Every structure is written in C-alpha cells, then in structure tokens.
Amino acid sequence: MRCPFCSHADTQVMETRVSEDAAFIRRRRQCGSCEKRFTTYERPEVTFPSVVKKDGRRIDYDRTKLLASLNIALRKRPVGTEQIDGMIERIEEKLLNAPAREVPSQRLGELVMRELKKADKVAYVRFASVYRSFEDVDEFKSFVDDIRK
C-alpha cells in the first residue's frame, strides 16, 4: 500500500480490526519513510445497482458522493467518522439486498434521511431542506414541527 502523504511503497500494518458486523477490515498503517499514520479499509468488491436520476439518466452508484453528502449535512455536528461509516455500510447493505438492478435516486435519498434522522436531527433537517426542495417557509416549518413531535 502506497503512503498517501509521500507515495512511498513501504507501509507497515500497525493494527487490524474487523468491523462489528464483519463487513470490512480496518487497518492502521504507518509509512516506513515519513512515519505518518493512516487508515485503510478492506471491503469485498461488489456491484451496486445503478442510480436512476429524476431526469431518467442512469449513473453508477458512487460511495464518495454519498460520503460527501453526509459530510455536508454533518459538518460541525458531534458525529464521528466511525458512525458515518456505519451509516454508509447500512445504506449500501440495503442497496445490495434490493432485488432490482436499478434504484431511483429518491430511494437513495430516503435511505440517507432515515440514517441521518437516527444519528443527528440537525443534520437530518439540513439534508431534508435540500433534498425535499421546500417551496416556502410554512412547508419547512411544518417539517420541523413534525420532527419535534
């Protein structure tokens, strides 16, 4: 494994952990050259369903887009990276277990909202405000009032 900091090819595994659900292996590594530490994850390579956008386009599922969306919603919120990784794992598990080879982007959005609602209400509202495209303040206020109940 190459070091992401100095590109040196010699890195040493310092610690290995299996996730709680045994879905991936987390390894802490240290570079033999610059001595910086970094984390890698090993996952089985699988084929996810294509995502069908609202306009009918089909795109490949992209884990980095999902992570970026979650990070935006969770910016400056007390949710750790392991919790975010867990959210992504649960979403991906649902996608893999779906019988269809295509998933509407709305379904993916709903899966994200479900995970955010469990993790952090503020992040949930942030994501929903963009995802649901509220037309006016009253509609948004009604949404927030429903969360408070």
Question: Do 40 and 17 share a structural domain?
Answer: yes
Looking at residue 137, its pLDDT comes to 79
Residues 68 and 22 in one domain: no
C-alpha 113/C-alpha 126 separation (Å) is: 10
* CA–CA dist 61, 14 (Å, integer): 32
**Residue numbers of the domain that contains 109:** 46-148
Residues 51 and 104 in one domain: yes
- Counting the structural domains of the chain, the total is 2
Same domain for 53 and 123? yes
Q: In this structure, are 56 and 111 located in the same domain? A: yes
Q: Smallest Cα–Cα separation from 85: which of 36, 35, 25?
A: 25
Query: What tens digit of pLDDT does each residue of 62-115 get?
Result: 999 999 999 999 989 998 888 999 999 999 999 988 888 999 998 999 999 999
